[in-house]
Amino acid sequence: MVAATVVVYIQTNVSWFLGFIIPTICFGFSITSFLLGVKTYVRSKPQGSIICDLVKVVVASSRKRHVGINRDSELSFYYPPLASSKSEQRLKKLAQTNRFRCFDKAVVITDLSERDNNGRSINSWRLCSVQQVEELKSVLATLPVWVAGDLVALNFPCSVLFLCLRSLPLSQDLDLASMGMERI
């Protein structure tokens, strides 16, 4: 808020050029610091689409909506076999939670033919891993934070614009009053 007010003040009272140079210098500084930190970034090869995995969980759980899940039931959940590559072994496995239990139906093995001889899912649109389901639950749990952030972000430009537009006539009125002149 202070930065937006100071830049508007400089553009109005000092010069437009200086008012544009200040944000440009700040942008150059931020891009430079971003590029200097490239060597510290963790780089891993992509292993599929996260969005597609989330959609697969929704589709699989809707296909198995008739399956009843109780904690003491004899249904088994699908845990894929351990990965062989080092990049997949570094991934942290998420523990199964009790929130959004309607999506747990996507991990229930209803038929033994859903898995191949190696223990992997034959059709990932019908049987998802516990990891995929917990990732979807984590995304859904952060949804209220996203909505709250969007509401704040929508309100902020309006308040800054209102303050800047209301301060321009006010400063002119103060200048006229200090000189003993009145507005007609």
- Helix (H), strand (E) at residue 165: helix 143-178
113 and 55 together in one domain: yes
**pLDDT attached to residue 178:** 55
Residues 28 and 97 in one domain: no
**Phi, psi of 109, deg, nearest 5:** -90, 105
Instruction: Please tell me the distance from the alpha carbon of residue 147 to that of residue 154, in angstroms, as a whole number.
Output: 11
In a domain, residue 157? The reply is: yes
Residues 77, 130: one domain? yes
Residues 15 and 57 in one domain: no
Residues 63 and 14 reside in one and the same domain: no
Instruction: Quote the domain boundaries for residue 161.
Output: 142-184
Q: Are residues 86 and 161 in the same domain?
A: no
Q: Mark whether 148 and 130 lie in a shared domain.
A: no
Residue 162 within a domain:
yes
The pTM assigned to this predicted structure is: 0.59
Same structural domain, 133 and 56? yes
121-163 per-position pLDDT tens digit: 888 888 888 888 999 999 999 999 999 888 888 877 777 777 7
Residues of the chain with pLDDT under 70: 1-2, 70-75, 81-92, 164-184
List, as one string, the DSSP characters of 7-34.
Answer: HHHHHHHT-HHHHHHHHHHHHHHHHHHH
For 45, phi then psi, to 5°, come to: -75, 140
